[in-house]
Amino acid sequence: MILTNHLPALQVVVPLLVAPLVVLMRVRGLPWAVATTTSLVAFAIAVGLTNTVLDSYSVTYEMGSWRAPYGIELHVTSFSALLLLIVTAASTLTLVAGKQSIDTEIEHDRQPLFYAAWLLALAGFTGIVVTGDAFNIFVFMEIASLASYVLIAAGSDRRVLPAVFKYLIMGTIGATFYLIGVGLIYMMTGTLNLADMEARIHEVGELRPILVAAGFITLGLILKAAIFPLHAWLPLSYTYAPHIVTAFLAACSTKVALYVLLRFDFLVFQQNLPAHEVQFTVFLMPLAVLAILIASGVAVFERNLKGLLAYSSLAQVGYILLGASLVSVPGLTAGLMHMFNHALAKGTLFLAVACLGMRFTRLGLVNLSGVARQMPWTMAAFVLAGLSLIGVPGTAGFISKWMLISAALQEGALGVALVAVIVVSSLLAVVYIWRVIELAYFGDPTEASQLANEAPAWLLVGTWVAALMNIYFGIIPSFPLSLARESAASLLQHLP
């Protein structure tokens, strides 16, 4: 069928075109219905693309029939398919489940704008993932970021404003660094097409500008991916954003930046810069280890539930990066699996937070004391996802941590040290998740938690669907695993 040939373009174009239409919809409930349907369509397209990719390795699409490398080329690989599924599934699930939560947090007359920004963010994230053009990535990155700022700034606490301002400044600096890097590469090679860049860079005798470009691009994307020590924008933004927005962004935004980072470093730079894989490891592995240890440590002392989970997110980004910085197929596979599994676990946790947010105005840990008696289903889902975050056998989190540990052990003495880091950080995760559980189940009920009753059924159903997916992919991980394996193999094909 002709339409299926255009799936890579439709993936981005559908949410992009619906977004301005949503602004005009003034009937109560309509913007939500249209945004959710669009997100569902995007998810269906992502599933369709994944099927094609699994059959035929990769899909290319020439925008407006302009031949690559002159025109913009869309390029969907198994790696992009994995990310597309994460992004569109996270968006769809949070939208379907989160209507009531959004209704309580966003006034009715601002909702059309809110949902339009949501669709723009979705279009931006999917755009970054499908495009094969370096400048196009910059444009989509900024579309996604600007929309994310708007979504986060919709939070009701005034402290969200300085937080989002900080995010805007740091996000823009990151994107501009990326742009400088792309400019330097364009200067040397005359191409913006990533596949063409791979082929052309080694024709360039003078490698200094390429080296500088690699520095700028890596640094810019590290900022966007909130890798320690450039993570300062993330915790406060996630803490004060509307709960459903946090669930959506926590599941995908940093991972999309990591996607671009891995694609550039392993496909474009790897075969062209001497000993690039060694530099990648030397530079990024310490950052990953620091992120894992410090962020987990801070999470243990955090007093706000969302802040705690945000710091835990930083640690999880560290795991993904640690897997990648091993620069081996098992390591990268583990990292990519962790992208998928962390999106599941953290998405569920933040949906459970949204459930709590329906009944509590303040989400300090002390406020939640004794809540499990009144909201048993919410807290049970929280515990389930918490176990997955810790990496208890039988949950999705276990699979990727196990793979990460076995990949690290192949690295000899260094690997043993890394395993120690992973174990220590997992124990810290036990501590911070247990703090929440202890208070919720065994703490004395506060006035607010005595008055609380179970969250609305629909939101709860969404949370439980996400929670059960943690179990499902913990027992039958073959589907994400096959995508992750194939992606890792294709990313590392240039390794000496």
Partner 1 sequence: MELLGLYNYWAFAVVLMTGLYAVITKGNLIKKLIGLSIFQSAVFLLYITMNKVDGGTAPIVQKGVTDQVFSNPLPQVLILTAIVVGISTTALGLAIVVRIKESYGTIEEHEIQNLDRDS
Binding site for partner 1 (CB under 8 A): 135, 138-139, 142, 146, 149-150, 153, 158-159, 161-162, 164-165, 168-169, 172-173, 175-176, 179-180, 183, 186-187, 192
In angstroms, give the least distance from the CB of 287 to partner 1: 21
- For partner 1, give the closer residue by CB, 48 or 183: 183
- For partner 1, give the closer residue by CB, 61 or 140: 140
Whole-angstrom distance, CA of residue 343 vs CA of residue 253: 10
In angstroms, give the least distance from the CB of 165 to partner 1: 5
User: Largest Cα–Cα distance of the chain, in whole Å?
Assistant: 71
Q: How many other C-beta atoms are found inside a 10 Å radius of the C-beta of residue 236?
A: 21
In angstroms, give the least distance from the CB of 184 to partner 1: 8
Tokens standing for 204? 């360039």
- For partner 1, give the closer residue by CB, 143 or 289: 143
- For partner 1, give the closer residue by CB, 135 or 458: 135
- For partner 1, give the closer residue by CB, 165 or 441: 165
In angstroms, give the least distance from the CB of 114 to partner 1: 15
Q: DSSP letters along 37-50, please?
A: HHHHHHHHHHHHHH
Cis amide linkage into residue 445, ω under 30° from 0: no
Whole-angstrom distance, CA of residue 289 vs CA of residue 285: 6
- For partner 1, give the closer residue by CB, 149 or 464: 149
In angstroms, give the least distance from the CB of 124 to partner 1: 12
- For partner 1, give the closer residue by CB, 34 or 134: 134
Q: At what angle do helices 329-357 and 457-475 cross, to 10 degrees?
A: 160
Backbone dihedral angles phi then psi of residue 133, each to the nearest 5 degrees: -125, 130
- For partner 1, give the closer residue by CB, 162 or 394: 162
Tell me which residue of 453, 475, 437, 421 sits closest to 349, measured CA to CA. 437
In angstroms, give the least distance from the CB of 156 to partner 1: 11
The answer to whether 32 touches 96, Cβ cutoff 8 Å, is no
Backbone dihedral angles phi then psi of residue 292, each to the nearest 5 degrees: -60, -50
- For partner 1, give the closer residue by CB, 53 or 179: 179
Whole-angstrom distance, CA of residue 484 vs CA of residue 32: 33
> CA-based angle 333:295:372, to the nearest 5?
95
- For partner 1, give the closer residue by CB, 76 or 256: 256
Tokens standing for 490? 């294709």
- For partner 1, give the closer residue by CB, 169 or 461: 169
The answer to whether 467 touches 396, Cβ cutoff 8 Å, is no
The answer to whether 325 touches 281, Cβ cutoff 8 Å, is yes
Whole-angstrom distance, CA of residue 175 vs CA of residue 179: 6
In angstroms, give the least distance from the CB of 264 to partner 1: 18
Backbone dihedral angles phi then psi of residue 58, each to the nearest 5 degrees: -155, 155
In angstroms, give the least distance from the CB of 164 to partner 1: 6
Whole-angstrom distance, CA of residue 88 vs CA of residue 385: 20
In angstroms, give the least distance from the CB of 367 to partner 1: 16
In angstroms, give the least distance from the CB of 299 to partner 1: 21
In angstroms, give the least distance from the CB of 219 to partner 1: 12
Tell me which residue of 219, 216, 254 sits closest to 234, measured CA to CA. 254
Helical residues (DSSP H) of 305-328, grouped into ranges = 305-325
Cis amide linkage into residue 69, ω under 30° from 0: yes
In angstroms, give the least distance from the CB of 301 to partner 1: 17
Tokens standing for 391? 């990496």
- For partner 1, give the closer residue by CB, 79 or 216: 216
The DSSP element (H or E) to which 126 belongs, if any, is: helix 111-130
Q: How many other C-beta atoms are found inside a 10 Å radius of the C-beta of residue 408?
A: 25
DSSP category for residue 366: G
The DSSP element (H or E) to which 59 belongs, if any, is: strand 59-62
In angstroms, give the least distance from the CB of 145 to partner 1: 8
- For partner 1, give the closer residue by CB, 186 or 479: 186
